[in-house]
Amino acid sequence: MHVTAIIAAGGSGTRVGGSAPKQFLRLGDGRTILERSVSAFASHERVSDIVLALPPDATFEFADSPADGKLRTVRGGARRQDSVANAFDAIAALTDIVLVHDAARPFVSADVISRAIDAAVEHGAAIVALPVSDTVKQVTMEGGRRVIAGTIPRESIYLAQTPQAFRRDVLAAAVAVGRDGAHATDEAALAELAGFAVHIVEGDADNVKITTAFDLERAIRRETAASSVRVGTGYDLHRLAEGRPLVIGGVEIPSDRGALGHSDADVACHAATDAILGGASLGDIGRHFPDTEARWKGASSIELLRQAAALVRASGYSVANVDVTIVLERPKIAPFLATIREGLAGALGIAPDCVSVKGKTNEGVDAVGRGEAIAAHAVALLRQ
């Protein structure tokens, strides 16, 4: 079964305030609202691909993440239903089930996504929703004042969330109704207008929508309070040999000798890789990229670091910062530290100011001090 997720991110998001649309604002872990929403679907094992509707002239880069190879972007429309219609035109021909999700709901869980898929398979159209727990009053205006006109049985009231899920043919009919002039705030309403029964499945109280500045502040506070902080350490050492390039943090350093290893033997990347994998309890570099496999022969270690960072994100953690110490007698690497730092930051998907790189000598002690080897230590802080 081929499942496509449409993520509607074409709005201006002005009510939240700030200099950018709300979907591009950052949460407590440093990722944007949009990144969190895309990641939830990209890492879901049943979601085959994603079509992302963006504001005109906006771009979205989510390189080296679980979204690699899954993500396409389209231009959003003036209304949400226009953005979804544009995205629907771009879905794969073999798509069976389509999920529609608001980018402003970054905390959607894998269980909620699975429930929506299952309900669409069974019923054709479904939304996740929450029953209300408060008494619901219907209000009218009389003489400029709000007056209760009646009490609505709360068991009949549900608060709609996303994703909303549809068989392809159902959503096609709903989109057609919208293009014929009907206006609705979500695709479920369009499906109703097209004559389909839309079923309800259990939502999640944590699947909140960020609309206002207060919503954003509350989400950041909640995330910070609930986040799990993990620390990982990494260490790597390689002999130096003539005829080998000296690669540190993805940067080739002029030298008459380089590190000897199965890959490019980049100790900075290897130590950082072990640190982030260790922090997420995902083993070490040898488990994921063993030197017994020919495909890693001569591999770029900074690319392995990118893949490791994607694994960490898929496990529910984000890299907050990394500190790397490189121990090398010669050559001096001070002129290259800024470039190394930027390369590591890019591979990890974090800002350069969240990466520290230092060069040290071993004061002539042991193999490193004699210039026979190079070593690196790394510490990584992860947040859930």
**Position 218 pLDDT exceeds 90:** no
Closest CA to 38 of 61, 56, 55: 61
C-beta of residue 92 within 8 angstroms of C-beta of residue 4? yes
On whether both 187 and 290 belong to a single domain, the answer is no
Given 206, 226, 246, the domain boundary residue is: 226
Strands (E), 87-219: 97-102, 125-131, 136-142, 145-152, 158-167, 199-202
- β-bridge partners, 325: 358, 377
On whether both 198 and 251 belong to a single domain, the answer is no
Q: What is the CATH number of the domain that holds 299?
A: 3.30.1330.50
Measured distance CA(220)–CA(36) in Å, rounded: 13
Averaged confidence pLDDT in the chain: 91
On whether both 284 and 342 belong to a single domain, the answer is yes
In the chain, the number of structural domains is: 2
Closest CA to 273 of 302, 296, 246: 302
245: preceding bond cis by omega (within 30 degrees): no
**Position 19 pLDDT exceeds 70:** no
End-to-end CA distance of the chain: 31
* Lowest-confidence pick of 55-64, 130-139, 263-272, 359-368: 55-64
On whether both 26 and 171 belong to a single domain, the answer is yes
Tell me which residue range forms the domain holding 146. Answer: 3-226
On whether both 203 and 253 belong to a single domain, the answer is no
On whether both 151 and 234 belong to a single domain, the answer is no
**Position 64 pLDDT exceeds 50:** no
DSSP string for 249-297: TTEEEP-SEEE-SSS---HHHHHHHHHHHHHTT---HHHHS-TTSGGGT
**Position 191 pLDDT exceeds 70:** yes
Report the percentage of the chain scoring pLDDT > 70: 93
Quote the tokens at residue 13: 């998001």
3-class state of residue 22 by DSSP? helix
- Residue 221 is predicted with a pLDDT of 74
Angle, helices 33-42/110-123, rounded to nearest 10 degrees: 60
3-class state of residue 33 by DSSP? helix
- β-bridge partners, 30: none
Given 177, 208, 226, the domain boundary residue is: 226
What H or E segment, with its residue span, contains residue 237?
Answer: strand 229-242
Mean pLDDT over 86-100 rounds to: 96
Closest CA to 355 of 30, 67, 20, 38: 30
Quote the tokens at residue 3: 């499942």
On whether both 189 and 257 belong to a single domain, the answer is no
Mean pLDDT over 253-259 rounds to: 95
Provide the residue count of the chain: 384
Quote the tokens at residue 115: 């429930």
C-beta of residue 344 within 8 angstroms of C-beta of residue 350? no
On whether both 358 and 266 belong to a single domain, the answer is yes
On whether both 255 and 216 belong to a single domain, the answer is no
Q: 120: phi > 0 → left, psi -120 to 50 → alpha, else beta; which?
A: alpha
Q: Give residues with Cβ within 8 angstroms of 241, minimum separation 6.
A: 257, 258, 259, 260
Given 164, 198, 226, the domain boundary residue is: 226
- Residue 27 is predicted with a pLDDT of 82
Measured distance CA(250)–CA(343) in Å, rounded: 6
On whether both 153 and 184 belong to a single domain, the answer is yes
**Position 40 pLDDT exceeds 60:** yes
On whether both 107 and 167 belong to a single domain, the answer is yes
Mean pLDDT over 326-333 rounds to: 95
Measured distance CA(112)–CA(117) in Å, rounded: 9
C-beta of residue 123 within 8 angstroms of C-beta of residue 167? no
**Position 241 pLDDT exceeds 50:** yes
Closest CA to 278 of 250, 313, 249, 312: 312
Name the pLDDT band for 17 (thresholds 50, 70, 90). Answer: low
CA angle (66 as vertex; 210, 306 as ends), nearest 5: 115
On whether both 26 and 169 belong to a single domain, the answer is yes
Quote the tokens at residue 135: 């008494």
Measured distance CA(18)–CA(312) in Å, rounded: 30
* Lowest-confidence pick of 12-21, 46-55, 126-135, 371-380: 12-21
